[in-house]
Amino acid sequence: MMRLRLVLPLAFVFFFAVPNSIHAQTANLKEIQVDGLQKLTQAQVAALCGLAPGAQVGRKELQDAADVLVRSGLFAKVTYNFSTHNNDLTLTFHLQENPRIPVSYDNFPWYGDSELNDAIRKDLPFYDGTLPEAGAVVDQAANSLKAFLAAHGGNVQVEQVVLVNPLADGNMHQFREEGIAPRIASVEFSDAHLKESLAVQQHLPEILGKPYSRLAIDIFLAEAIRPVYQEDGYLRAKIGPAEVRLSGNPNQKLPEEIPVFVPCEPGAVYHWKGAEWSGNQALSTITLATTLGLKPGDVADGMGIEAGWDRVREEYGERGYLEAKLTPAATYDDQTHTVSYAVAITEGQAFKFNQMTITGMSLAGERLIRDAWPMKPGDVFNKKVFEQFLNRLEIHRATVFKELPIHYDTVGHWLQDDAAKGTVDVLLDFK
């Protein structure tokens, strides 16, 4: 699991020219206005900054209020200006909100998400299940959860970390209790299809007996269980979220083993209808369909479909198209239970081999590598041939080095392309 070290997003606070009257005395704050909002409301910003109409404010109070908004982490940019009339002051904040990322509660088996959300929302009324990547509001959310657990008899620390989301794009906040380690005693599925699946039974030891973690369970369901449905054509199966069905007093010590229940709705079995291709020039639609390898009426094996897209990419790679991209868009017909795809292809350009750079190898070894390398400068760069050559260097070294004694642990390898020339260089580093 990858953890990210965070740097608080840079926020800018600009202060407009302040009349001498506000330097020398305070004024009555008549109104707070805000522009640039997307998710937050004007009232929420006013509450966050700590000012309220009727307060006596001077230069320090205005600056402190803006600083509070910056430290919150909710804003990428904070500026303000104000106007005065007699002794009344109207303050206007100009804000740009930071993006937020979803929150996940990893190991709070006694409590549902709604309870934990409410605990945070008690102190942060704007909370909607997402938070900025850093800032005071993130720390406040952790403190709110800790207070909630303490009120229910818990005496634990709450850890917060930003992780790369393994199941979606972007990052996520993970909150978890430190110092508890109940283990997963069993995993029960509502669908008999999974209960009877030999593949599922073979995968269960990967998670049984492991520390309870919602993230670990979600990854297990996505990587081990969903493919079982996909292979049988249940392309729109709903799996989870997993539930912990505990009974007893939540204020008492957790049991050492926790049963997990996974509700599942397999839905219908879909069959393959076909694919329509666009953007292809180097490969004909016949070649693409043959490479994909699916026939109308076949059960739509989701894993087989993904493998088919990979084969198409490999076909392009063999012809020098190293940057070819496929964008498949599925259309489901729930009347006939068929699926078809519109596949947009961006081929890019075809690259030719230019030269090879080798480091970390003796001169004798380098000569043998160059002798064994199958492409000449100017040849269309065949990515499959390149990968096969790497396999020889890593696993079948004798086919390259023959009787020469060679010692290395790893082969670093990179492709350096020159789009202007349409060429690619191969870099090999032996360690």
**H or E element, residue 326:** strand 325-333
pLDDT at 68 over 90: yes
- Calpha distance 133→289 (Å, rounded): 44
Average pLDDT over residues 182-204: 92
- Calpha distance 229→262 (Å, rounded): 14
Q: Bridge partners of 104?
A: 174
- Calpha distance 267→339 (Å, rounded): 14
- Calpha distance 20→220 (Å, rounded): 64
Supply the pLDDT for residue 181: 74
Evaluate the omega torsion of the peptide bond into residue 182 and state whether it is cis, within 30 degrees of 0: no
Greatest Cα pair distance in the chain: 95
Average pLDDT over residues 143-168: 89
Report DSSP state, residue 175.
E
pLDDT at 249 over 70: no
Average pLDDT over residues 264-287: 96
Q: Bridge partners of 328?
A: 343
User: Which tokens go with 412?
Assistant: 């670093």
User: Which tokens go with 371?
Assistant: 């002798």
Supply the pLDDT for residue 37: 93
User: DSSP string spanning 30-68?
Assistant: EEEEEES-SSS-HHHHHHHHT--TT-EE-HHHHHHHHHH
Average pLDDT over residues 68-95: 95
pLDDT at 15 over 50: no
Beta strands in 10-156 (DSSP E): 13-15, 27-35, 56-57, 75-85, 88-97, 101-105, 130-131
Q: Bridge partners of 187?
A: 260
Evaluate the omega torsion of the peptide bond into residue 241 and state whether it is cis, within 30 degrees of 0: yes
Mode of pairing for the β-strands spanning 56-57 and 27-35? antiparallel
Report DSSP state, residue 95.
E
Compute the chain's Rg from CA coordinates: 30
48-52, 252-256, 382-386: the lowest-pLDDT one: 252-256
User: Is the pLDDT higher at 89 or at 21?
Assistant: 89
Q: Report the 10 Å Cβ neighbour count for 255.
A: 13
- Calpha distance 20→17 (Å, rounded): 9
Q: What are phi and psi of 403, to 5 degrees?
A: -90, -5
Q: What is the pLDDT of residues 315-370, one digit of tens each?
A: 999 999 999 999 999 999 999 999 999 999 999 999 999 999 999 999 999 999 99
Q: What is the pLDDT of residues 46-64, one digit of tens each?
A: 999 999 999 999 999 999 9
Supply the pLDDT for residue 248: 62
pLDDT at 1 over 50: no
Q: How confident is the model at residue 252 (pLDDT cuts 50, 70, 90)?
A: low
- Calpha distance 288→314 (Å, rounded): 11
Question: Is 374 within 8 Å of 393 (Cβ atoms)?
Answer: no
User: In 3D, which of 87, 65, 74, 104 has the Cα closest to residue 11?
Assistant: 74
Q: How confident is the model at residue 21 (pLDDT cuts 50, 70, 90)?
A: very low
Q: What is the pLDDT of residues 82-125, one digit of tens each?
A: 999 999 999 999 999 999 999 999 998 888 899 999 999 999 99
Q: In sequence order, which residues have a C-beta less than 8 Å from that of residue 389 and are 6 or more positions away?
A: 372, 373, 374
Q: How confident is the model at residue 185 (pLDDT cuts 50, 70, 90)?
A: very high
Beta strands in 190-296 (DSSP E): 238-239, 243-244, 257-262, 264-265, 271-278
User: Is the pLDDT higher at 251 or at 147?
Assistant: 147
Residue 83 has, within 13 A of its CA and on its CB side, a CA count of: 4
> Coil, strand, or helix at residue 239?
strand
Question: Is 331 within 8 Å of 340 (Cβ atoms)?
Answer: yes
Would you tell me the crossing angle of helices 383-394 and 363-372 to the nearest 10 degrees?
A: 140
**H or E element, residue 393:** helix 383-394
Euclidean distance between the first and final Cα of the chain, in Å?
A: 26
**H or E element, residue 357:** strand 352-359
> Coil, strand, or helix at residue 45?
helix
Buried (b) or exposed (e) across 334-366, using 16+ Cβ within 10 A? Answer: eeebbbbbebebebbebbbbbeeebeebeeebb
Q: How confident is the model at residue 253 (pLDDT cuts 50, 70, 90)?
A: low
Mode of pairing for the β-strands spanning 183-189 and 257-262? parallel
Q: What is the pLDDT of residues 282-325, one digit of tens each?
A: 999 999 999 999 999 999 999 999 999 999 999 999 999 999 99
User: In 3D, which of 73, 89, 165, 76 has the Cα closest to residue 127?
Assistant: 73
Supply the pLDDT for residue 14: 42
Domains of the chain, start order: 13-97 (3.10.20.310), 101-178 (3.10.20.310), 183-265 (3.10.20.310), 271-346 (3.10.20.310), 352-430 (3.10.20.310)
Q: How confident is the model at residue 11 (pLDDT cuts 50, 70, 90)?
A: very low
